[in-house]
Amino acid sequence: MGTKKPGIRKQIINISVLLALIGLTFYMIFHNSDGFSIESVGKFVKEIHWPFLLGAFLCMILNIGFKGLSIRTLSRTLGYKKSLLNNFSYASADIYFSAITPSATGGQPASAFYMVKDGIPISHTTAILSVNLLMYTASLIVLAVIMFIVRPNLFINIDSWVVKACIVIGLLVQLLFLAVYVMIMISEKMVMRIARGLVNILAFLHIVKHKKEYLSRIDASVHRFKSSVLLLAHSKRALIASFLLNFAERLVYISIGVLVFYGAMYNIPSLAGVKIDVIDIYALEAFCWFGSYCVPLPGAVGASEAIFNNVFSMVISNSVLLSATMITTRGINFYISFIFAGIVTLIKHLRTQYVVPKTDSTAKG
């Protein structure tokens, strides 16, 4: 895991791509939904019972907070007692850079950069973020198992095989990651044998050109991950706490959509007659989230909106209300969250690059 300073030029390119995707997505939404407009969204938001809307924004902040608490728990196990605000900023950097990079690849390196700047060695930073990722993936799989056990009928009733495929593929990808993590802990040699076989096939197909270099990077990553987990494996309490905090992070994220839906049901007559319980809404929100993992686009923009509209059409028949619910939910759990995390990251970056170094140099003088 690198700690390269986040580049302005690359960020501009990534944000430009993200904005283009957002623009295309919103064009499709407004073009394909009769009677839907910006005014419809404004009217919908005004009609949401305010305590639910406030709760949705609180869940947005808690989503970042629980990620920060997990990082803090693992950091303290290794002796680093950084403040809650610092850990909140590490989590914000993860969320911000994950949103603007394909498959969320930029999140962890950005967190690592600021953690190292704050005096946590790269080896320990890698350990903390690797274990946190492991617990994040494990909590996702556990949540998926729960949802498929308690509400399998909702998945079956989704009328689009494409959406069903996205949900299954998204979960299989995460399950594959978890399986690889477990296999690394059991046997590095077995993992490398499998990796060599796959790389040989890819090299034969001329997909991979520099086979030795590729294998060397895989070997380094495998060894680094195992060393990271072993560094923290002595503290079962910290590992359990990290898992629970990651699980809580997932629950509050899904709760954003649940609160938007119930807040709308409270005041909007055409939704008041919908017969659905809270577990159903949690399951539908979870299925939407699982499906987004199969799309390697920044923030899964476009795909997430399409999956939401398809899944929730089982509950909301009015197309204008459906699109308004989707945009409000995505607006809070992705767009506003992304902007909020970006502002926190910018403040952290300015402090890290300019305020703290100036303070240090003054102290030395």
Give percent of the chain above pLDDT 90.
32
Tell me which of 182 and 10 has the higher pLDDT. 182
Average of per-residue pLDDT values in the chain: 84
Calpha distance 89→93 (Å, rounded): 6
pLDDT band for position 363 (cuts 50, 70, 90):
very low
Count of CA atoms in the C-beta half-sphere (13 A) of 71: 29
Calpha distance 88→102 (Å, rounded): 23
In this predicted structure, the answer to whether residue 220 has a pLDDT above a threshold of 80 is yes
Could you tell me the CA-to-CA distances from 178 to 134, 237, 243 in Å, in that order? 7, 20, 13
pLDDT band for position 146 (cuts 50, 70, 90):
very high
In this predicted structure, the answer to whether residue 364 has a pLDDT above a threshold of 50 is no
| Residue ranges in 33-103 assigned as alpha helix (H) | 38-47, 50-77, 84-100
What pLDDT does residue 104 have?
Answer: 67
What pLDDT does residue 361 have?
Answer: 45
What pLDDT does residue 344 have?
Answer: 94
What pLDDT does residue 318 have?
Answer: 79
In this predicted structure, the answer to whether residue 270 has a pLDDT above a threshold of 70 is no
What pLDDT does residue 51 have?
Answer: 92
The pLDDT tens digits of the residues spanning 28-76 come to 776 666 666 788 788 888 888 889 999 999 999 999 999 999 999 999 9
What pLDDT does residue 191 have?
Answer: 84
What pLDDT does residue 274 have?
Answer: 66
What pLDDT does residue 108 have?
Answer: 84
Q: What is the dihedral sign for C-alpha 169, 304, 110, 127?
A: negative
- Here the tokens at position 63 are 């989503």
Averaged over 127-134, what is the pLDDT?
A: 90
Identify the top-confidence range among 95-104, 110-119, 297-306, 313-322: 110-119
Averaged over 244-269, what is the pLDDT?
A: 89
Averaged over 222-243, what is the pLDDT?
A: 85
The pLDDT tens digits of the residues spanning 306-353 come to 888 888 888 887 778 888 888 899 889 888 998 999 999 999 988 887
CB under 8 Å to 321, separation ≥6 — which residues? 44, 264, 268, 270, 271
Residue 166, exposed/middle/buried by CB under 10 A (0-12, 13-18, 19+)?
buried
Calpha distance 42→51 (Å, rounded): 17
What pLDDT does residue 31 have?
Answer: 65
pTM for the whole structure: 0.84
The closest of 307, 345, 284, 292 to 89, measured between CA atoms, is 345
The pLDDT tens digits of the residues spanning 200-212 come to 888 887 777 777 8
pLDDT band for position 137 (cuts 50, 70, 90):
very high
In this predicted structure, the answer to whether residue 365 has a pLDDT above a threshold of 60 is no
